[in-house]
């Protein structure tokens, strides 16, 4: 556990963080059986573990305060969950013992969603009393909640075509070439077309939507939080339309451009002129560079334990998710804003891209291994930070203007 936290993993409900939280809470639950209402034994145990490992593993010694704080907060949080949720679980189990000896999916989901009890915790306690949990009913309740959330979100894209069946054409053998780092428009060829359900088609006509594979494309495919480009296409025979998104729903396939035909038609083999929305791309580039500035400032103000946990880079907004043990304070937010804006206004060198790396590069807190090029963000006297990134960035930090406020 201490090794995982020292390596940057934090307890969460997803991926590695979920595994860590599950290990910690299971150990905490068994510990509470032997020491009910006692001192935070798990935090004390982690301190003993650090004493054992701090010499052979120097990273643990450097991150000792972060590790202890993470364990303490997780133990306090789980104590609160047990205090509020365990009596409800006991009531549910007693009722099940007198009836069907099954916890319904709705009851299990209520314990999970309202009181924060993990499903595996509910199942373990139920199993100890020879009671089953309706896992299928739980999954149905979870999916119903997700459907409600998708329906309520203001960002839901109801008009975006989606594959509803596996395409049966071997488009995986096709190769597309991305030139979007240097070009915003190009002459290209339609290699394959699909209807919105994934059925291959030789032509899409006026009013139809579908997917197009291009031989060459300047359109960026959403990755690393940066949204896809949008734009237009025109054919030599008066075909015209809009490209609203770029997706890759099937691994090892080329990118698929979501197209809407406005006039005439679009057919396989046609030569087309495609052009992305440059003003939108530039807005995305500004926000993407700003996320890196924000990341560096967060680590400077909060600490090097802060790691990116997700992001959204859109033309009109950015969101940067980070791992931290507690909410960021108002004073810390003000200091982060000050640092970012100071970097923007005082940096007088251009951002340098495509710096060739001969090996993975340790750049401060980042290990650059995403691709073979790096981007250097420099001030007049020192390198503020460096990173490796496959997204689009501005040429000079002042193009972001006073970005955070």
Give me the DSSP letters along 333-385.
Answer: HHHHHHHHHHHHHH--SPPEEEEE-SS-EEETTEEE-SSSEEEEEE-SSSEEE
**In the predicted model, is pLDDT for residue 159 greater than 60?**
no
CA torsion, points 168, 172, 173, 178, in degrees to nearest 10?
Answer: 140
Q: What is the pLDDT of residue 34?
A: 67
Q: What is the pLDDT of residue 285?
A: 87
pTM, whole model, 2 decimals? 0.64
Domains of the chain from N-terminus onward: 2-152 (no CATH), 171-276 (2.40.30.130), 281-400 (3.30.980.10)
Confidence of residue 400 (pLDDT cuts 50, 70, 90): low
Q: Which helix (H) or strand (E) holds 52?
A: helix 41-53
What mean pLDDT do residues 26-38 have? Answer: 70
Q: Which of 191-195, 204-208, 303-307, 344-348 has the lowest mean pLDDT?
A: 344-348
**In the predicted model, is pLDDT for residue 153 greater than 60?**
no
Q: Which residues of 365-378 are buried (b: 16+ CB within 10 A; e: fewer)?
A: ebebebeeebbbbb
**In the predicted model, is pLDDT for residue 373 greater than 50?**
no
Q: Contact, 303 vs 295, CB < 8 A?
A: no
What mean pLDDT do residues 92-110 have? Answer: 92
**How large a percentage of the chain has pLDDT more than 90?**
33
**In the predicted model, is pLDDT for residue 19 greater than 90?**
no
Q: Which residues of 211-220 are buried (b: 16+ CB within 10 A; e: fewer)?
A: bbbbbebbbb
Average pLDDT value over all residues in the chain: 78
**Tokens 């979007």 appear where?**
180
Q: What is the pLDDT of residue 9?
A: 81
Q: What is the pLDDT of residue 219?
A: 96
Give the span between the Cα atoms of 319 and 317, in whole angstroms.
7
Q: What is the pLDDT of residue 123?
A: 92
Strands 102-103, 132-133: parallel, antiparallel or unpaired by DSSP? parallel
DSSP-derived letter for residue 396 is S
Residue, of 291 and 39, whose pLDDT is higher: 291
Give the span between the Cα atoms of 116 and 77, in whole angstroms.
10
What mean pLDDT do residues 149-178 have? Answer: 62
Q: What is the pLDDT of residue 347?
A: 60
């Amino acid at each position: 556990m201490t090794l995982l936290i020292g390596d940057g993993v934090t307890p969460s409900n997803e991926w590695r963080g979920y595994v860590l939280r599950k290990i910690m809470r299971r150990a905490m639950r068994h510990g509470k059986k032997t020491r009910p209402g006692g001192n935070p034994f798990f935090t004390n145990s982690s301190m003993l573990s650090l004493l054992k490992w701090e010499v052979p593993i120097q990273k643990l010694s450097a991150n000792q305060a972060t590790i202890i704080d993470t364990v303490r907060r997780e133990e306090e949080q789980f104590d609160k969950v047990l205090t509020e949720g365990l009596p409800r679980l006991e009531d549910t189990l007693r009722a099940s013992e007198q009836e069907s000896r099954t916890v319904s999916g709705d009851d299990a989901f209520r314990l999970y969603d309202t009181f924060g009890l993990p499903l595996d915790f509910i199942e373990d306690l139920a199993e100890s009393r020879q009671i089953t949990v309706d896992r299928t009913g739980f999954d149905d309740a979870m999916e119903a909640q997700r459907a409600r959330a998708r329906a309520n979100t203001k960002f839901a894209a109801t008009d975006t075509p989606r594959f509803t069946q596996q395409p049966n054409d071997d488009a995986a053998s096709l190769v597309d070439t991305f030139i979007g780092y240097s070009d915003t428009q190009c002459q290209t060829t339609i290699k394959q077309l699909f209807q919105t359900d994934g059925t291959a088609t030789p032509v899409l006509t006026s009013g139809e939507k579908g997917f197009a594979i291009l031989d060459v494309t300047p359109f960026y495919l959403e990755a690393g939080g940066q949204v896809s480009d949008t734009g237009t296409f025109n054919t030599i025979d008066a075909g015209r339309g809009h490209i609203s998104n770029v997706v890759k729903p099937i691994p090892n396939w080329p990118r698929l451009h979501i197209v809407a035909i406005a006039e005439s038609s679009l057919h396989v083999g046609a030569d087309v002129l495609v052009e992305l929305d440059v003003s939108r791309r530039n807005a995305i580039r500004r926000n993407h560079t700003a996320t890196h500035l924000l990341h560096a400032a967060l680590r400077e103000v909060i600490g090097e334990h802060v790691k990116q946990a997700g992001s959204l880079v859109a033309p009109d907004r950015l969101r940067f998710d980070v791992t931290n043990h507690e909410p960021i304070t108002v004073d810390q937010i003000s200091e982060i804003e000050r640092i970012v804006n100071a970097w923007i206004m005082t940096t007088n060198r251009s951002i340098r891209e495509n710096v060739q790396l001969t090996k993975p590069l340790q750049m401060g807190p980042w290990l650059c291994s995403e691709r073979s090029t790096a981007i250097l963000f420099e001030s007049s006297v020192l390198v503020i930070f460096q990173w490796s990134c496959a997204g689009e960035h501005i040429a000079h930090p002042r193009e972001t203007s006073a970005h955070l406020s």
